Structures are given as C-alpha cells and as structure tokens.
Structure 1
C-alpha cells in the first residue's frame, strides 16, 4: 500500500500534522477523499479511492458512507461507485461567488488574451496542482482545452512554478514535505528553476514542459484581503506564440496586469481599516 502523504495544517505552514494538536485527521482524510475526483472522472469506487489516498479500504468505506449521508458524495448502487454530490457544488459556488478578485481580474485577463491571441488565466495552488479560477481566450487560442476549475501540474507548468516563486518560503517548504520521497528531489530542482527564472526573466516559463505543443509564461502575486498567493499565466499552442514573443511582447503586458492586481483586494475594502 502506498504511503499516505502528509497533509499540512491550515494556518501552520511549517508544522507537520502529527505535531499539531488542533489538526483533525479524520476531517483531513474526508477532504482527501473528495479531492480524489479528477476532471473528466465521474465515478470512483472505494478501492480506487483507498489507493489514491493510501488509506485502508475499511477506513475509506466509513468516510464515503459519511460523506454520502452529508450529500458530498452520491452512491450509484448499480455500479457500486460514488460521484461527487450536490453539496460539493454548493460549497464551490459559494467560494467562487465570494472571490471578488475574479470580478476585478476578468476584464484585465480578457484584454491581455485579446492583445496576445492567447489563453490568459488566474489561478492558485490546490494541493499539488494549480486550479484555474478565471480564464479568458484570445481569438486564436481555442486549441487549448482549459476552463475555470481545470487543474494543471505544480511542477511542469509555468503557472505552478510561478506560484512556487511567489509564495512564502515556509509555505513552499510545507508543499515539498507533501511529496513522496522519489519526487522530492525533482520538486526541489523545480523550485530552484522557478526562483532563477523569476530573477532572470521577471516571470516563469514553460516552453513545451507542460504539453509539448504549448508555450506559456506566468507571474505570481499577492492579492491581499487574506487571499493566498495567486498567479496569472499567458500561453497558447506553440505554432501561435513563440518563446521570444511571450518574453518580449507578452511579458511586459503580463507584468502590468499583475501590478494592477497586486494588493487589489486590500484596496477594494476587503480588509477593515
């Protein structure tokens, strides 16, 4: 059975859960079960969930039963599998509805997407990936099949590396501790690359790393208002945008957009005086 990965304690970026008396392991495991469902997957069984979480099947059975009773999972008896329930949708809708930075960023993302004929997106970290919160498309970038809610790699994408470069070192170290040992060295090399690209180019780059035929650049920032570090990326199929175009033409526009979003939630009155 695979080793269960450590789940960082909220509000304690550097503290392992086993050293945090306030950390509720049962709750964390339940949320991990919900996090097992990936884009394009509608049904999972207890055995698949147990393998992904690294938990005993008996534990997973109790968790899925409880989540079903609460409406976060829906059991399909004909198949003996679960799908996400409507309570998850309500929770996600409430979160997105209260995320004012999407409203602030939306016209800026669309303007940059139109100017660069690219896909421009706002995102933030979700466990060991980056989730898209808002997305805009230029008139020539329809070939990139992404939408709000899509998750991409934290390691291989410009967006993921930009988040690693922008976050607090303690939070970055907590993420590294979630990686299983065989992948830890690779992620540490990714962090070094992210910091070097941010220093040398003023952004992070993915030229064929995430997908062989996609080029992208990304820049992280801190929106304020109690929100986590976020990232804006700009990318498109490589036959539309070259690395040179992204670095020379798109990067100054991307930097200007991020400068307008930096601290924008404090200015919007999200925090009290």
Structure 2
C-alpha cells in the first residue's frame, strides 16, 4: 500500500483542492500492518513520513475519535476497532460486492473450493469477499488483504482486459520481484501471460506468491469492457494440479465472472 501511495503522491501534490491534512491522517492509519501492529510516536512519524510534532497532533486527534488506541504504560499506538467501520461501510455500499455475492456463493457451493472476489487499486489487487472452501489453504487471507497485480491470478486477469500499452504501463509502475521460485516477474514473460489470458478469458497462477497455492481467475468488466475486478477459485497444489484446476474450474469461473459483469452492466 505504501508503494501505491508514493506512486500517486506527485499527482496529489499538484491538486489545488487536496486537503493535505486528511492525507496525513490516513498516512498515520496506513503505517500499521502485520509486521508493525504497534508503533511508538517516533516510529509512527517515520512510517508516515511526518515530523514528530505533526504526528503527535494527528495521533492525539485520531485517538479520541476511536481510530487509534494508545497504551497507557508503553505509550505505543495501535489501530482501534473503529477502523473496521470503514470496511463495513464499503462492503455494505459497493455495488460490485452486492451484485457478486449470490454468484460467488453458487460458485463456492459448486466447486467446494475457496472463492474470492478482488478489486484493483493502483498496482495492487485487494480482496473484498472470500468464501472458504472445505479444504484448508496455506495462508489466511482476510478481507482487505492487498497483493501485487503482477503475480496473482486476479491481477493477470484484470490486466488482460486492458489495452497492451496500458497493461505494460501498470507493470512498469509495479514493484516487481521474485517472491517464490515460481514467480513470473520479468516484463516480457508477464506480457506473454497477459496476452494468453486475454485469448483464453481466464488467468492462472501456481505458487507465485505463496508456496503450494494454485488459482484460476476471470475478469469482471463493465459495459465498456473496463475491469471492475476479478473472481477466482483457489486451492492447494498438493490436492490438485494446476492443469486439473483449469479443466474443472476455468469454465465455471468465466461463467461466474460473465454473470457478474452482465448484472453490473444492467445496473447502468
């Protein structure tokens, strides 16, 4: 997330209507993650890119509002439960999430595998719905988890709907690197994957971000063919080979994505 925010910053700096104090407040909230669940004031200032005085003022404001919690003894800050209100409000109001829900449920009941809905945010993809299957996966991926576009089935499916040069531009802006020995991260192999996915109508990944994971995804588009998100079925390679995943689920995933796309288009 921090990389995406940094990439957007030059455009934001040129926006005369931007209220920078709001951006700074969200920078504080975005400083926390699984590796940094609690931060001292100094650490929070460094992570948010603010001076200590500004950080103190923003933290002092966010604490009584319920978005930050300060430990009385350690003086360290953590996110407070009210942050979840924003997630709940998004999930309760976003039209794609609402439209997709029954189709995802049907796909989950048909495949008995884990089914996910994801949306693009800059160079990342964000999980916005997840229905767990009968089999345990390697990694728990809660709603709101952010992953790179370039190494996920979601991301390749979404990029496959974009014009070639636009997809290439997104990849050039991405922090591409090898996450596992199977990660496809170099430009030309990625463009080949995107081209193949565009021709087939679905994308696949095998152990590119987590060891043992395999997935098949298809893009959800609006009436103009622009991507709204993607749906995938995920499983374990120890249970099912990628080729078998494609044979069993590719058509089902594409049909689900197409049904959601049509339902979204009908909304206007």
TM range, normalised to the smaller chain? 0.7 to 0.9
Equivalent residue, structure 1, for 2:80: 85
Equivalent residue, structure 1, for 2:145: 150
Equivalent residue, structure 1, for 2:19: 24
Q: Considering only aligned residues, what root-mean-square deviation do their CA atoms show, in Å?
A: 3.6
Residues in 1 aligned to 2:54 and 2:177: alpha-carbon distance in whole angstroms: 26
Equivalent residue, structure 1, for 2:128: 133
Change (3 A) 1:211 1:21: same
String of CA shifts for 1:69-98, please: whole Å, max 9, x gaps.
433222222222222234422222222111
Q: Secondary structure at the match of 1:229?
A: strand
1:205 correspondence with 2:204: yes
Change (3 A) 1:51 1:199: same
Q: Secondary structure at the match of 1:78?
A: coil
String of CA shifts for 1:146-203, please: whole Å, max 9, x gaps.
33333333332222333333468769847855x57999xx585686255224234322
Match of 2:43 among 23, 33, 48: 48
1:121 correspondence with 2:120: no
Q: Secondary structure at the match of 2:143?
A: coil
- TM-score under structure 1 length normalisation: 0.76
Answer yes or no: is the 8 Å Cα contact 1:39–1:150 preserved in 2.
Answer: no
Per-residue deviation at 1:4?
10
Answer yes or no: is the 8 Å Cα contact 1:124–1:132 preserved in 2.
Answer: yes
Q: Which moved more, 1:210-219 or 1:188-197?
A: 188-197
Per-residue deviation at 1:207?
0.6
1:112 correspondence with 2:107: yes
Change (3 A) 1:212 1:143: closer
Change (3 A) 1:144 1:86: closer
String of CA shifts for 1:88-140, please: whole Å, max 9, x gaps.
22222222111243343223223323333321111113455322211123323
Residues in 2 aligned to 1:233 and 1:181: alpha-carbon distance in whole angstroms: 22
1:6 correspondence with 2:1: no
Change (3 A) 1:198 1:3: closer
Answer yes or no: is the 8 Å Cα contact 1:6–1:17 preserved in 2.
Answer: no
Unaligned runs of 5+ in 1: 10-14
Equivalent residue, structure 2, for 1:38: 33
